[in-house]
Structure 1
Amino acid sequence: MQGFEEVLGHEEIIRHLQNAVAMNKVSHSYIFAGETGSGKKLLANLFAMTLQCEKRGIEPCLECASCKKALSKNQPDIINVTHEKPNTISIEDIREQVIGDIQIKPYASPYKIYIINDAEKLTVQAQNALLKTIEEPPSYGVVMLLANNVSALLPTILSRCVVLNLKAVGDNLIKTYLMERLHIPDYQADMCVSFAQGNVGKAEQIASSEEFNEMTESALKILRHAEEMELNDLIDTIKSLTQEKNTIYEYLDLFLLWFRDVLLFKATREVDSLVFRQEINYIKERARKSSYEGLETIINAVETAKVRLNANVNFELVMELLFLTIREN
């Protein structure tokens, strides 16, 4: 674990949190909003550690007893709220771990901090129960809600909290980080960055995933040979993809990146800005065969396939239509 200065991006949020500490204007309730992997947990934990740090600075010192306990997840006044049911945080969870507990003064810290991860899973009853605590907290109480999807939270909750929206981190920052810290080669870092779309956690996960490399390879194999494969071979390929339904969106994202490369190469004839530079011979060939309109049609078809799958349209049918579009154009 590191201090705030090591965090990639999110400078505005960090400035806001550090100012709140420096000026002694810490709010009783915060919402950290952003998709999985965007850094919500990291920022909330660093903020919690800073608030409890014995040095009373605007960074956690990582040396004092409180910081050390927090690092080993044993700081008794930083409470991570847990839930039994995978997709629900119930009113019982909130009553037991927050409402009943917050009345007891902190053991040895200035604050008592509650971190509720996956806050979008709070039931309406749980949110209403929490609302009272957020509206009338004890002076030492701080509640941090970490949410992938703030629209699942009640307007009354949103209006009582300081909402911090985590924005996408710059591609260059992430690329440098992957190459320097994780020693990922240049072209692979580019692909991870394109795929992660500003999400550091996602970029790290992709960079270190053997599965992702295999998936990329099988997606490229389909793309290289899509037009010469018989339709029934394509259907078989679709069936083998069907078994990996949970990764189908990643496959479609890879298809998108590849066809965008083809379009970019067709327009500029430049190789350096391509994600799949190592595929240049196939990209060249595809750019020669497809018109600009054809490539736009394919890119739109991939986007449409994602929407249809999301709406639970028959999987085989969606993929068949997509592959036919790829072949026709």
Structure 2
Amino acid sequence: MPGFHDIIGHERIKEHLQKAIESNHVSHAYILTGEAGMGRKSLANAFAMTLLCEKGMSEPCMQCHACKQVMSGNHPDLIFVTHEKTAGIGVDDIRSQIQDTIMIRPYSSYYKIYIVDEAEKMTVQAQNALLKTIEEPPSYAVIMLLTTNQEAFLPTILSRCVQLKLKPLKDSVVTSYLTGSMGISESRAEVYGAFARGNLGRAIHLAASEEFQALYMELIHMLKHLKEMDIMELLNYIRKLKEQDPDLSDCLDFMQLWYRDVLMFKVTQDINLLVFKEEFNTMKEMSAASSYEGIELILQAIDKARVRLNANVNMELAMELMLLVMKEN
């Protein structure tokens, strides 16, 4: 379990939490918002461990009894709120795991900390039950709501919590981590970093995923030979790819990155600005053979395919329309 210094990026949020500890102005309720994989849990755990650490500093010492208890998942004053129903967190979950225990003073620390993951799944009744606790919490209580969508919360919940939103990391930060800590080649790391759009957890997952490696090779082959293949061949390719990515979102993201590279090279002639540096020769050929208008039409066609798929338009029809634009331009 990492301390603040082990977490990559999110400097503004780390500084805010550490200053709150140093100045003894810790809020009773926080909302940490960000995509899955961006580091919400790591930040919440680092904050909790620092608050419970016996040294009382702005970083957990990682050596004291309290830190070791947190790292082993056995600290009595750190409670992770769980829920059995996949559909949502009900009022009974909030009552039994927070309301019924929060008035019991901490066992061994000054703070008693509750971490609610997937907090956007709280029902309206559960949020109203939690609101009563947030409005009049005991002095030692800290409640952390981790969410991918804070819009799911009632305005009354939002107004009583400190809201901290995680922002995407720079691609260079993600690439540096992948090359330095995972030994990924720089060219591949740049692809994963661009594909993950600043989400380090997603980039790490992609780098370690055999399924994504297979998807990568299949799409590279298809995009290189797209002009030579007929529509039925291409649709068969798409059907095969759909088995790996049921909603095809990764495929569309990949294609968008590819054609943005084609456009980038046509404009700049600079290999250093490409994401797919390994495919430089193909990028050079495609950019020379394509017009600016044609590349823009392809990028628009990819966006339209995404909208159609999200609207539950027939997959083969949506992809066929996109592929026709790609072949014509």
TM over 0.5: yes
CA distance in 1, matches of 2:199, 2:232: 38
SS in 1 for 2:205: helix
CA distance in 1, matches of 2:292, 2:194: 22
For 1:133-172, list aligned pairs within 5 A. 133-172=133-172
Identify the residue that residue 210 of structure 1 maps to in structure 2.
210
Identify the residue that residue 120 of structure 2 maps to in structure 1.
120
CA distance in 2, matches of 1:239, 1:214: 14
Identify the residue that residue 181 of structure 1 maps to in structure 2.
181
Deviation at 1:163, TM superposition (A): 0.2
Specify the code of the residue in structure 1 equivalent to 2:95: R
Query: What's the TM-score once normalised by structure 1's chain length?
Result: 0.97
Identify the residue that residue 94 of structure 2 maps to in structure 1.
94
Q: Deviations over 1:125-168 (max 9, x none)?
A: 11111000111111111100001011111111000000001111
Specify the code of the residue in structure 2 equivalent to 1:263: L
Mapped contact 1:238–1:320 kept (Cα < 8 A): no
Identify the residue that residue 104 of structure 1 maps to in structure 2.
104
Q: Segments of 4+ in structure 1 off by > 3 A?
A: none
Specify the code of the residue in structure 2 equivalent to 1:191: V
Deviation at 1:288, TM superposition (A): 2.0
| RMSD over aligned Cα atoms | 1.2
Change in CA separation of 1:279 and 1:305 when aligned onto 2, cut-off 3 Å: same
Q: Deviations over 1:63-104 (max 9, x none)?
A: 111100100111111111111112311111111111111121
Mapped contact 2:40–2:146 kept (Cα < 8 A): yes
Specify the code of the residue in structure 1 equivalent to 2:187: Y
SS in 2 for 1:246: coil
Mapped contact 2:215–2:241 kept (Cα < 8 A): no
Moved more, 135-144 or 246-255: 246-255
Query: What's the TM-score once normalised by structure 2's chain length?
Result: 0.97
SS in 2 for 1:272: helix
For 1:262-273, list aligned pairs within 5 A. 262-273=262-273
CA distance in 2, matches of 1:48, 1:232: 55
Deviation at 1:107, TM superposition (A): 1.2
Identify the residue that residue 79 of structure 2 maps to in structure 1.
79
Specify the code of the residue in structure 1 equivalent to 2:257: L
Mapped contact 1:242–1:315 kept (Cα < 8 A): no
Moved more, 226-235 or 57-66: 226-235
Deviation at 1:245, TM superposition (A): 4.3
CA distance in 1, matches of 2:193, 2:303: 19
CA distance in 1, matches of 2:57, 2:317: 59
CA distance in 2, matches of 1:26, 1:185: 42
SS in 2 for 1:298: helix
Identify the residue that residue 328 of structure 1 maps to in structure 2.
328
Deviation at 1:173, TM superposition (A): 1.7
Mapped contact 1:53–1:66 kept (Cα < 8 A): yes
User: Is residue 230 from structure 1 mapped to residue 230 from structure 2 by the alignment?
Assistant: yes
Change in CA separation of 1:318 and 1:257 when aligned onto 2, cut-off 3 Å: same
Deviation at 1:244, TM superposition (A): 3.5
Aligned length: 329
Deviation at 1:3, TM superposition (A): 2.2
CA distance in 1, matches of 2:314, 2:244: 15
User: Is residue 10 from structure 1 mapped to residue 16 from structure 2 by the alignment?
Assistant: no
CA distance in 2, matches of 1:226, 1:85: 45
CA distance in 1, matches of 2:269, 2:68: 54
CA distance in 2, matches of 1:6, 1:114: 22
CA distance in 2, matches of 1:166, 1:157: 19
Mapped contact 2:2–2:42 kept (Cα < 8 A): no
CA distance in 2, matches of 1:133, 1:84: 22
Identify the residue that residue 279 of structure 2 maps to in structure 1.
279
Specify the code of the residue in structure 2 equivalent to 1:308: R
Specify the code of the residue in structure 2 equivalent to 1:318: A
SS in 2 for 1:229: coil
Deviation at 1:203, TM superposition (A): 1.3
Identify the residue that residue 199 of structure 2 maps to in structure 1.
199
CA distance in 2, matches of 1:40, 1:168: 12
Deviation at 1:285, TM superposition (A): 2.0
